[in-house]
Structure 1
Amino acid sequence: MAEIVGRDDQITTLDALLDHAIDRRGGALVLRGEAGIGKSALLEHAARAGRARGMRVLRVTGVQAEVQIAYAGLDLLLRPLRPAASDTSSPYRMAVEVLDLLGEPDGAVLLVIEDAHWLDAATWETLTFLCRRLESDRIAVLMAVREGEDIDRRLAAAGLPELRLEPLSPADSAMLLDRTAPGLAPALHGRVLDEAAGNPLGIVELGSAVARSGGSALLPSSLPLSVRVERTFDGLVADLPPDTRRLLLVAALLDGDSLDEILAAMRVLTGAEVPADAVQPAVTARLVTVDEHYDLRFRHPLLRSALRQQAAAGERRRVHQALAEVLSGSPGRRLWHRASAAPGPDEALARELTDLALGATQQQTVAVAAATVNRAIQLSQDPAARGRRQIMACTLMREQGDSQSAQRILEDVDVSALRPADQARLAMMRESFSSKAWSGAEQLLAYADLIDTMRRDDNAGFAIDALAEIALRIYYSNAPAHVIDRFTDVALALGDGGDDPRLSGVLLTIAPAGRGADGLDRLRQLVHRTGLSPGVRCDLSIAAWAAGAFEIAGAFALSSAAELRAQGRIGALAVALNAGAGAHAGLGDARTALPLAAECIALAQETGQLMWALGGGLIAALAEALSGDVAAARRRADVAEQIFTAARRLPMLALVQRARGVAALAEGHADDAFRQLIRVYDPADSAHLPHQRLHLLGFLAEAAVLGGFLDELRPVVAEMEPIAARSQSPALLVGLGYARAVLTGDYETALAQDLTGWPFDRARLQLTYGSALRRSFKLTESRPLLRAAADTFDSLGATPWADRARAELRATGETRRKPMDALAVLTPQEQQIARLTAEGLSNREIGTRLFLSPRTISTHLYRIYPKINVSSRAELARVITSSDVV
């Protein structure tokens, strides 16, 4: 093949990408530029160069006709390696399967994707997620996309490196034209260069056309270059036999490349057998190629576009109808071609697509459901039904982790066409997406009225959905009593949670103090119940956390996360990880909380759930404060404060104060800690959040006893006593036990509580009591308490508290050496991998959990071993186990 003109730097970049992949440094690159700028030529170079290096090359071209068919592009890309994709996988789970599949060959693999902007959404999400997970994999991915605002948004969300192709220089343009059409008259030579403006395809096609037809080929000059180049293709196609032209149109509209399927559709269209040789004139004209698998590929995407545009609407519909008949054995593909053949909106077809989407949702195939319901939206005739489908699509997109698409759908909904129940849900969803200030209490009351209307209209399911969606919003709103009472009444009118467990969670989240006792009893009954969906368990974990039942919250969250992870629903997984991290941080377990929070932050950022990422950051800040990394904790708190203040989400500042207060305690600045934490209890303070008072009393009491603020603590304890009796919040009851002990000196009663599930709080009691005994010169009695406290704090990763316990022991005359913490030298992700390895999971199993390839896990272990001075999985397990029980 002729040398590519003017692209030496770009070729060097592509060659480096291939060499890095061969060297187990996988990577991805997106080629961007206008139509005809040379993307296809560079892709072809990369494919040839990859094969020359011994790489396996897999290729696919995005097709506009198949943009709504989930995994159509991925199936074509991977067809040489395996059967069609299982439609039970999400894009994120599918990405891990593809990483695993591509890791099996001995050599490196190059994926070449042309016209990636026409890939179906599921394939796009799969491939871009895969690209972000390439680390130690022998995989290179090269995508080509055109310019456009929509492409800008998609690439911004994908976060992949880009290489933009600019027009050729005048010298390179002239060289290319001389090679293409040597001997052109100077006037025509200059006109071609002016018209092509450095576009390589324009230079080649317009130069060839001028060489054949003279200056008339450049008219009309007012048309965009891409249209004029397409017209040169039109001229080439017009010279072909009728059957060949029609065959090319079928190929342009087919959601695939199979020549057999194309010929079968031709048989339906013509009523007669069409021989395979009908394609040969197009092959001879170098418009298409047919490979050994009888797959037909167009020489340039503009030819496919030209064929679609020149065909009359009626002819395109007839082709789609023929393809639907041919593809009767593939219901999903057949349905899409039926939808493409529809002359306009078709409510019956929209209902059929919606039913298919609901079935896919029940089977956890979220990506398929989302693509299907989006097509149903396009075909909807009933405006109210269209709006409800848009709301359904938004929910599916959020679960899948595509927040940008969900936001665009919400903005497109016609509120005036919606039924009142759907209007309520839409209003709540829009507010939950908004980064602006939340609406006030009166707007919340309006939501309550609309949800009650749903119930009265026999839409109980939608009413419970709406309550579940808004419950956490109410929790963080400092809503007045009459608003909480109204939502409580609405929830109770729907039942007591016996039929739908979410009602128990809703009641507990919106009123953890008022409904705590009954709600917690119900959650304890549900925690081991089988058959609850992971989404319901995630909601219940948040409710349990709100009530301070951290053990229950952790059990719900981690079981939910396991299923969501298996299904690849990373949008929902980020929320479950947030709940799990929050539960363990609430228990003082920094070791477990920090890796969960780190993964929550990464997934939430990746899926555009910025508030969940921010919440995960504040949980990480609490865990970092507990572990002694106070600088990191304060940085996160400062960032969150700026965002919450700008958005007027002031009650959420309580989480900022939590991190700052615990960080101050970790540094030994008890006076600062008390000032930070008491703000949460002060109704006049912007950081006041009544529900967080259930969680923070233990830390506030610790700051009070260390800083000499016991008189200021007494009224707080008196205020919280009746709330504890009413709510039965485990966190509040434990905190009150500690607060009473520091106020009365009766530590024995506090230690007599069942604190089995509260090791940090038991150790805090032991430390405070042991310190008091040491100051009273009861050294012998103090030592067992201080030893136990130091051991527990070490096991939880609460290093500053463990150091305090050891300092108190030294003051009694006993020296206790600080144990080596093997995990301290590892990053949160490395800690996660090390723990899973210690549990006996294989690299493949760990990769499946963390959405990484087995090769990447192996590389991480290669880095982990020397950090903690081990050389095998067995030694790693022993070190990790000993670190967990020190």
Structure 2
Amino acid sequence: MIRGRRAEIEALTALLDAACAGTGGALVLRGEAGIGKSALLEQTAAAAGGRGFRVLGTAGVQAEVLIPYAGLDRLTRALALPTGPATQPYRLATALLEALGAAGDPVLVAVEDVQWLDEASWAALAFAARRLGADPIAIVLTARDGDDVSGRLAAAGLAERRLESLGPDDSAALLAAVAPGLSPVLAARVLEQAAGNPLGLVELGMAASRGGGAALLPARLPLSERLERTFAGLVAELPPITRGLLLVAALDDGDDFDELIGACARMTGAPVVADDIEPAVTTRLVRVDDQFRVRFRHPLLRSALRQAATVAQRRRAHAALAGTVADPERRVWHRAAAAAGADEALARELTETARRAQHRQAATIAVEAFERAARLSAEPGARGGRLLAAANAAAEQGDPATVVRLLAEVPEQWLSATDRAWHGLLREVFLGTGWSGGDRFASFVEAVETMCREGDTDMALESLLAICLRVYWTVPDPETAGRLLAAAESVGVPPGDPRLVAVLAQVAPVARGAFCLKQMRTLRTSGEANPRELFELGLGAGAIGAFSLGVSFHAAAQVELRAQGRIGLLAKSLVSHALQAAHLGDARTALGLAAEGEQLVAESGERNWLPTAWIVSGFAEALRGDVAAAHRHADQAEAVLMPGGRHPLLALVRQVRGTAALAAGRPGEAFRELRRVYDPADAGHHGHTRLMLLGFLAEAALGCGELDELRRLAGEMAPLGAGRSPALLAGLRFARAVLGDSAESFAEALAEDVEWPFERARLELAYGVWLRRQRRAAECRPLLRAAADTFDALGATAWADRARAELRASGETLRRPAEAAQGLTPQELQIARLAADGLSNKDIADRLFLSPRTVTTHLSRIYPKLGIRSRGELSRALRTA
């Protein structure tokens, strides 16, 4: 019987109604233990079954919290979805959505005890729940209150409803129903101690009926502990062998009955048979289903059993389970729980478990495994390194409280040179000690040099990869930069190793730019790099301004990263890809990638990349001519970068504001903003970013008359062209054309191989303007028309409008094409483009981590916005949009 939950029942009914109507949704019921979450979930499941829903369920189990996909096991088995330690949560989420929606009938997924779901199961479920839209799926989850749960739910962004205590009338009615005949005095004591908690009313009411007032003492215990004591009292009445079975079941990370019997026999040294569980079944403490799986009546029973057992008893139970379970991953956790002292061999096994968990992005499991490995470590150095690895995994997960706690446990004297440098960098980020720039690079260099001397090639390369992006943005002093470069080149791998090329491009983008460019062109066609290496090459290509190469590397990496569900790396790849697309003037592509990248950055915990995602969106909005949106994004990023001391990235903020000023027709303001990137005394100065902005700076200088300053700056930049940076060479080409101020200088620039359409269109626009002002209208028009067409195709609307304005001034009118795609959201535009490329709805769903039904619904909304009726018309509509 459920009392006092009318609002919650109405919300759950509305969720089922929406699922029946084809609009999926999710709701989390949260509250203290015993507040009635399970009862509401059970009633909702019964109501859904009565309405023709397919009802599926699963639950988190405290003992399984470190086993990947333990929480989803029942669900994935019911849907015949294979899972294993290597399965990526985000790929499984897509498969779940597809499997749940395959039949077309409404589905209810009931998930109990979210607080005890393993991280992989939670990541998959939360990801799927956020993508319900056009799916007839309702997901209802229950979660017990707690800070860890609050953090988990806040990051997930799912709708919540908190269950409060019952009021006096509802409490009295429930107590009268479960414990009729209590004296007024006993009833009043139960009502006082239960304090509106439904489970407390039921359990304490029944205890009072059996044992009178003595059963309610001591009243000073908090409710959860009081209920655990109640359960413990029930267990104490059972035969010893049954109690042993229940303890093993409480500590097990599985629920197989035969496994429990085998482990209990090993623990007690006595024969155990199936009938030994019957006393617990009879008292309704557990049930054994048709598949011979053991289920506890309430999660508090597990807690009570764990709490009541001594340390020695728990260790014996874990040791027995370690000797019984077949799965190596489960076995190592039980061995660790049973260990009584240092065990370096076991610590190494747990460290490998942690690394595998990191690879599949199960960060919570990685943190726990590294930390347990540290506790088992015999040597301080190994212990410190593993605690630092746990802190690093927590940082990847976006768990600052755990990072701070672990960093405090690690004395620097325990650490190697490389680990000390990492320790310092983590302290900067999470303890607010300030941006140290390249202060810690010397420690990294020494460590890498040692690794090279000892022949540890892979570790040396991995260490360099870990810091090379930081090196690029910091621009260390010449001596440190030289040592970093020498260390990288002494690693001892072939010159075409993709990892080495990516490192060199970021450590020495000018000095080794030409070499890296040559190697990258070879690697792009060889197909030898793996997805992570392709991502690193994409970063490296961006560092030397080879944006076309960078875009192709990132696009290739994303295909595999999506297939593998490696969402953390995918998120960073999308943001970097978007930035390079914006540098190529492709505003439409940049906006779509940045929007998805920002979403996945937040979901994957890679929040240090959020300001970059905002900056990229601002850059693309500036190209499109939405100056207000560009400034909002720039302000948003600056508000995070300035307090954190991340000043080098302010160069990108200047870039956004400068581009926005150009779009708004304010070249003087644009020149002042962009000029700051070239000024070593300015907080927004960055030596490498200035290579990428010379074309925009020259355009601004042309508009405001700052040609002398442009000539000086171009002269400073010209020697750096030896690095063969395509971005710098394009900027120098445009600057020479502008500074030449002649038909010959423009014609010469256009005669060169201008690789990027935006740069060619910018030259055509500038040359067309020059010709018009020379009163050579007939000659300027073809150039202005071509420029406008290119800018329109790229979505660089502000530049296209300027080309059309110049064309009108020459006496010819060119109508602005209908912006059919303007009304599409970034995700709709992404789906439309993929559909136009010939991908099926399922292929699109797999790529974007959606269900096929959701893709179908998006397309049904896209067609009217584009003024078309079928998929076959998409390509034409997008070409003219």
The two structures share one fold, judged by TM-score above 0.5: yes
Q: Which residue of 2 aligns with 1:611?
A: 608
Q: Which of the numbers 117, 120, 145 marks the counterpart of 1:122? A: 120
Contact 1:87 1:365 in 2 (8 A): no
Answer whether contact 1:595 1:829 (CA < 8 A) is retained: yes
Tell me how far apart the structure 2 counterparts of residues 274 and 84 of structure 1 sit (CA, whole Å). 33
- The aligned residue for residue 749 of structure 2 is 750
> Structure 1, residues 148-202: CA drift from partner, whole Å, max 9, x if none?
2222222222222222222222222222222222222222222222222222211
Shift of 1:129: 1.7
Cα shift at 1:392 = 4.3
**Could you tell me whether the CA contact under 8 Å between 1:403 and 1:607 is conserved in 2?**
no
Any conservation in 1 of the 2:61–2:116 contact (CA below 8 Å)?
yes
**1:290 CA drift (Å):** 2.8
1:219–1:364 distance in 2 versus 1, CA, 3 Å: closer
User: What is residue 709 of structure 2 aligned with on the other side?
Assistant: 712
| SS of 1:73 mapped into structure 2 | coil
Counterpart-to-counterpart distance in 2, 1:346 and 1:593: 51
Trace 1:291-302 onto structure 2 (pairs within 5 A): 291-302=289-300
Matches within 5 A, 1:593-608: 593-608=590-605
Alignment correspondent of 1:337: 334
Residue aligned with 1:716, SS: helix
Q: Within 5 A, what are the aligned runs for 1:369-380?
A: 373=370, 375-380=372-377
Deviation for aligned residue 1:222: 2.6
Is 1:25 the counterpart of 2:58? The answer is: no
Q: Does 1:735 align with 2:731?
A: yes
**SS in structure 1 of the partner of residue 474 of structure 2:** coil
Tell me: CA distance 1:522–1:228, structure 2 relative to 1, closer, same or farther (3 Å): same
Name the counterpart of 1:723: 720
Q: Check the 8 A contact 1:602/1:613 in 2, yes or no.
A: no
In structure 2, how many angstroms separate the alpha carbons of the residues matched to 1:270 and 1:486?
62
Q: Does residue 853 of the first structure (1) align with residue 851 of the second (2)?
A: yes
Q: Distance in 2 between matches of 1:483 and 1:382?
A: 32
**Residue type matched to 2:813 in 1?**
T
For residues 475 and 62 of structure 1, do their structure 2 counterparts lie closer, same or farther at Cα, with a shift above 3 Å needed? same
Residue 672 of structure 1: how far off its partner (Å): 1.6
Residues 36 and 201, structure 1, Cα contact 8 Å, conserved in 2: yes
Match of 1:97 among 95, 98, 109: 95
What do residues 502-547 of structure 1 show as CA deviations (whole Å, max 9, x unaligned)? 3332232133233322332232232233332322222221121121
Amino acid at match of 1:799: T
- Out of 417, 422, 445, the residue aligned to residue 414 of structure 2 is 417
| Residue type of the alignment partner of 1:72 | A
SS in 2 for 1:59: strand
Q: Work out whether 1:532 is the aligned partner of 2:529.
A: yes
Task: Give, as a single letter, the amino acid of the residue that structure 2 aligns with 1:864.
Answer: I
Q: 1:573, 1:519 → 2: CA distance?
A: 23
Amino acid paired to 2:601: A
Q: For 2:391 and 2:592, locate their aligned partners in 1 and report how far apart those are by CA, in whole Å.
A: 29
The answer on whether the counterparts of 2:438 and 2:471 sit within 8 Å (CA) in structure 1 is no
1:732 partner amino acid: L
Q: Secondary structure at the match of 2:600?
A: helix
Distance 1:660 1:512 in 2: 25
Task: Determine the structure 1 residue equivalent to 2:491.
Answer: 494
1:364, CA displacement in angstroms?
Answer: 8.9
**Superposition pairs for residues 174-189 of structure 1, below 5 Å?**
174-189=172-187
User: Which AA in structure 2 matches 1:220?
Assistant: P
What's the counterpart of residue 141 of structure 2? 143
Distance 1:64 1:416, change over 3 A: farther
Maintained 8 Å contact 1:367/1:400 = yes
Paired residue for 2:109? 111
Q: Contact conserved, 2:572 with 2:597, CA < 8 A, in 1?
A: yes
Look up the match of 2:49: 51
Amino acid at match of 2:254: G
When residues 131 and 445 of structure 1 are mapped into structure 2, their CA distance, relative to the original with a 3 A threshold, is: same
Q: CA 1:640–1:493 in 2, change beyond 3 Å: closer, same or farther?
A: same
Offset of 1:478 from its aligned partner?
4.8
Aligned twin of 1:568? 565
CA distance in 2, matches of 1:521, 1:434: 42
When residues 194 and 234 of structure 1 are mapped into structure 2, their CA distance, relative to the original with a 3 A threshold, is same
Specify the SS of the correspondent of 2:688: helix
Distance 1:290 1:19, change over 3 A: farther
Shift of 1:423: 2.0
1:8 aligns with 2:3: no
Determine if contact 1:75/1:84 at 8 Å carries over to the other structure.
no
The CA deviation at 1:397 is 6.1
Match of 2:511 in 1: 514
Deviation at 1:72, TM superposition (A): 0.9
Is the contact made by 2:746 and 2:767 (CA closer than 8 Å) also made in structure 1? yes
**Cα distance, 1:866 vs. partner?**
0.7
Give the letter aligned to residue 821 of structure 1.
E
- Counterparts of residues 419-568 of structure 1 (less than 5 Å): 419-431=416-428, 437-456=434-453, 458-495=455-492, 498=495, 500-568=497-565
**Is the deviation greater in 135-144 or in 518-527?**
518-527
For 1:302 and 1:363, locate their aligned partners in 2 and report how far apart those are by CA, in whole Å. 31
- The amino acid that maps onto 2:468 is A
- With normalisation by structure 1, the TM-score equals 0.93
- Tell me the alpha carbon deviations over residues 679-703 of structure 1, each in whole angstroms, 9 at most, x when there is no partner: 1122222222121111111111111
Please show how residues 587-666 of structure 1 align to structure 2 within 5 Å.
587-666=584-663
**What secondary structure does 1:528 align onto?**
helix
- Are the equivalent residues in 2 in contact too, given 1:87–1:368 (CA < 8 A)? no
| C-alpha displacement of 1:391 | 4.4
Q: How far 1:815 sits from its partner (Å)?
A: 2.5
Cα-to-partner distance string for 1:644-679 (whole Å, 9 max, x where unaligned): 222222222211111111111112222221122111
Deviation string 1:530-589 (CA, Å, 9 cap, x unpaired) is 332322222221121121111111122221222222211111111111221111111111
Contact 2:68 2:84 in 1 (8 A): no
Answer with 127-136 or 241-250: which moved more: 241-250
Matches of 1:368 and 1:443, distance apart in 2: 29
Q: Secondary structure at the match of 1:142?
A: strand
CA distance in structure 2 between the partners assigned to 1:12 and 1:194 by the alignment: 29
C-alpha displacement at 1:438, in angstroms? Answer: 0.8
* Pair 1:580–1:91, CA change in 2 (3 A): same
Task: Give the Cα–Cα distance (whole angstroms) in 2 for the partners of residues 377 and 14 of structure 1.
Answer: 45
Please list the CA deviations of residues 763-786 of structure 1 after superposition, one character each: whole Å capped at 9, or x if unmatched.
111111112112222222222212
Identity over aligned residues, as a percent? Answer: 53
Which residue type is aligned with residue 40 of structure 1? S
CA distance in 2, matches of 1:547, 1:844: 37
Q: What CA distance in whole angstroms lies between the structure 2 residues aligned with 1:468 and 1:174? A: 65
CA distance in 1, matches of 2:357, 2:121: 17
How far apart are 1:216 and its partner, in Å? 0.9
Distance 1:403 1:49, change over 3 A: farther
**The residue matched to 2:526 in structure 1 has which SS?**
coil
Amino acid at match of 1:319: A
**Following the alignment from structure 1 to structure 2, what is the Cα–Cα distance between the partners of residues 804 and 496?**
51
Partner of 1:65: 63
Q: Distance in 1 between matches of 2:284 and 2:232?
A: 14
- Quickly say closer, same or farther: Cα 1:71–1:801, change in 2 above 3 A: same
Deviates more, 1:508-517 or 1:372-381: 372-381
1:813–1:84 distance in 2 versus 1, CA, 3 Å: closer
Q: Does the CA-based 8 Å contact 2:179-2:205 persist in structure 1?
A: yes
Pick which of 771-780 and 837-846 moved more.
771-780
C-alpha distance in structure 2 between counterparts of 1:366 and 1:192, whole Å: 43
State the alpha-carbon separation in 1 of the partners of residues 26 and 339 from structure 2.
Answer: 38
Give distance in 2, aligned partners of 1:407 and 1:362.
23
d(CA) in 1 for partners of 2:399, 2:574: 18
CA contact (8 A) 2:561 2:567 kept: yes
Partner SS, residue 172 of structure 1: helix
1:601 to partner: Cα distance: 1.1
Q: Cα deviations across residues 28-56 of structure 1 (Å, max 9, x unaligned)?
A: 22222222222222222222222122222
Classify 1:862/1:378 alpha carbon distance in 2 versus 1 (closer, same or farther; 3 Å). Answer: farther
